[in-house]
Structure 1
Amino acid sequence: MDCSGCGFKVEGGYAFCPRCGRRQPVPCASCGYLCAPDFEFCPKCGASVGTPAKAVERPAPTPSRTIVPPSRTPSLLANIESEDGLHPVSDADRRTVTVLFADLCGFTTLSEQLDPEVMQALQNELFKELTAAVRNFGGFVDKFIGDALLALFGAPVAHEDDPERALRAALDMIARTARLGERAPHSGSPLLLHIGINTGPVVTGGLGIGTAKSYSVTGDTVNTAQRLQSLAAPGEVLVGELTHRLTRHAFSYESLGDVVLRGKAGGVLVHRLDAPLTAPRAARGLEALGLSAPMIGRAAELN
């Protein structure tokens, strides 16, 4: 294109002539007609200079609410924090959950005997084994407290046989801990767990404030499970009454009777887990209660 002032050949895209400095015509973005620099609209097609004819001007979005990315959507783990304090959202969920507390016996003594770095490595290896046992049976590791583990069966995902899953996970945890004690460097004494398991109603949801908030459960069921764990001897698994009632078709127990647990009013029926039954009974019906109702006087009909 030649300059309209001096005739110098101007390359495409130049707004000014490099020889005389004259402003060059602007091509219409719609039809391509060369418009004078001071034209607002194309004299050929009427389109605004520099704007395509079919372009649609979109109004600026009006901010209405804060959009939370999907990865941070507070579906289960959020409270709304304001100047008035904390207002719980509708993530709270009341449900029946089997709570498992597992604790390493002699942790304080072991910490005195081992170097802190060795102790940390042992704890991490132990937590790895315990977590694998919980997840293998569909449980959820709520948190680690010192040398203890809190696991949930029935939250956030529920199964029909969650109490039975919790017991099988407990036996697996004890076996894994024993194997770890055989190969890990420590004082030479066996590594043993004592475990408490209890089933009952809890409220699940986000507990804590800000970044410390996490999915957890609260209720007396959790407290009772922790008291059962404290009562259990090394290598023992103690369970509450409801857990026993829901799993006695598949496991053998030794009853310890009514036991007064620290901080609780009245006694709690406690049972010591023995082992899985070689021939499990039905989970429902009279057989689950150790009863039977044979047909009498119906031989002909049965034949």
Structure 2
Amino acid sequence: MECPACHTENPESRKFCRECGKKLLLICPDCSAQNVPRDKFCGECGHSLLKPKEAPKELSFEEKIDKIQRYLPKGVTEKILSQRGKIEGERKQVTVMFCDLEGFTSMVERLGAEDAYNVMDQVYELLIHKVHDYEGTVNEMTGDGIMALFGAPIALEDAPQRAIRSALVIHQELANFNARIRKQTIEIPQLRMRIGIHTGPVVVGTIGN
């Protein structure tokens, strides 16, 4: 806390200022009564003496892009930055692809949380790469799948076709993954991915925090 006499910052546990030796007091902002350090509420009027929490820092556009870099296909970051003023509140035709791993809960029960996590980490890597290969963007990751966008934030004339090709490749790569993983262990069940695709108009807003 700050010393009212010399304005030196002191640890909350101190009763006297480490710089000038004055007694440290908390002044109630509501009634101006004196309170001792560590008091949470004013002893005179009951007003809170806790410092208000600072609002979370608003990320800049570039910081938001950097934060989600992993989920953007190669080259899309530069395209977004070049169209900075155009991607907020813009109506676009977008194709959404949902991928959901079948039997995820039973797999966790069978393998345990740690082994299931290791499997899903590899599955996520497969999904993300195959979405990026067709210039899609991973918009959300769930416990057992992803939601990907084709046509946003960068417009694609053939977004539906790209999403379909991505889905077909995901099925093929997952079959290859099953074949590889069976050679490593017999405990992991056959993995199957349910994929849904829908195309329609959306309004593209600010990329989230």
Task: Report the TM range for the smaller structure's normalisation.
Answer: 0.5 to 0.7
CA contact (8 A) 1:130 1:176 kept: no
Q: Percent identity?
A: 36
SS in structure 2 of the partner of residue 200 of structure 1: strand
Q: For the structure 1 residues 186 and 174, does the alpha-carbon distance in structure 2 shift closer, same or farther, using more than 3 Å as the test?
A: farther
Q: For the structure 1 residues 73 and 115, does the alpha-carbon distance in structure 2 shift closer, same or farther, using more than 3 Å as the test?
A: closer
Q: Tell me, yes or no, if structure 1 residue 162 matches structure 2 residue 153.
A: no
Q: For the structure 1 residues 73 and 176, does the alpha-carbon distance in structure 2 shift closer, same or farther, using more than 3 Å as the test?
A: closer
Q: For the structure 1 residues 70 and 171, does the alpha-carbon distance in structure 2 shift closer, same or farther, using more than 3 Å as the test?
A: closer
Counterpart AA for 1:115: G
Q: For the structure 1 residues 206 and 180, does the alpha-carbon distance in structure 2 shift closer, same or farther, using more than 3 Å as the test?
A: same
Distance, in Å, in 1 between the alignment partners of 2:119 and 2:105 is 13
CA apart distance, 1:151 = 0.4
Partner of 1:148: 145
Distance, in Å, in 1 between the alignment partners of 2:101 and 2:135 is 22
Aligned pairs, how many?
128
RMSD of the alignment, in Å? Answer: 2.5
Q: Which ranges of structure 2 fall in alignment gaps of 5 or more residues?
A: 1-58, 69-86
CA apart distance, 1:70 = 6.8
Partner of 1:71: 62
Map 1:288-303; keep pairs closer than 5 Å. Answer: none
Q: Deviations over 1:11-49 (max 9, x none)?
A: xxxxxxxxxxxxxxxxxxxxxxxxxxxxxxxxxxxxxxx
CA apart distance, 1:131 = 0.7
> Please, which of 78, 92, 107 is the counterpart of residue 95 of structure 1?
92
TM-score, normalising length from structure 1? Answer: 0.39
Distance, in Å, in 2 between the alignment partners of 1:104 and 1:69 is 35
Map 1:57-206; keep pairs closer than 5 Å. Answer: 71-72=62-63, 91-184=88-181, 185=185, 187-206=187-206
Q: Deviations over 1:215-260 (max 9, x none)?
A: xxxxxxxxxxxxxxxxxxxxxxxxxxxxxxxxxxxxxxxxxxxxxx
Which structure has the highest helix share of the two? 2
CA apart distance, 1:188 = 4.5
SS in structure 2 of the partner of residue 206 of structure 1: coil
Q: For the structure 1 residues 193 and 186, does the alpha-carbon distance in structure 2 shift closer, same or farther, using more than 3 Å as the test?
A: farther
Higher-Rg structure is: 1
CA apart distance, 1:139 = 0.6
Q: Which ranges of structure 1 fall in alignment gaps of 5 or more residues?
A: 1-67, 78-89, 208-212, 215-303
Distance, in Å, in 2 between the alignment partners of 1:206 and 1:186 is 45
Q: For the structure 1 residues 145 and 69, does the alpha-carbon distance in structure 2 shift closer, same or farther, using more than 3 Å as the test?
A: closer
Counterpart AA for 2:201: P
CA contact (8 A) 1:182 1:190 kept: no
Q: Deviations over 1:172-198 (max 9, x none)?
A: 111111211222346353211111100
Partner of 1:86: none
Q: Deviations over 1:250-277 (max 9, x none)?
A: xxxxxxxxxxxxxxxxxxxxxxxxxxxx
CA contact (8 A) 2:138 2:147 kept: yes
Counterpart AA for 2:148: A
Q: Deviations over 1:127-147 (max 9, x none)?
A: 000111101111111110111
TM-score, normalising length from structure 2? Answer: 0.55
Query: Higher RCO, 1 or 2 (CA under 8 Å, sep at least 6)?
Result: 2
Counterpart AA for 2:144: D
SS in structure 1 of the partner of residue 172 of structure 2: helix
Counterpart AA for 2:205: G
CA contact (8 A) 1:114 1:186 kept: no
Partner of 2:76: none
SS in structure 2 of the partner of residue 189 of structure 1: coil
Q: Deviations over 1:147-178 (max 9, x none)?
A: 11100000011221111000000001111112
Counterpart AA for 1:201: P
Counterpart AA for 1:71: E
Counterpart AA for 1:206: T
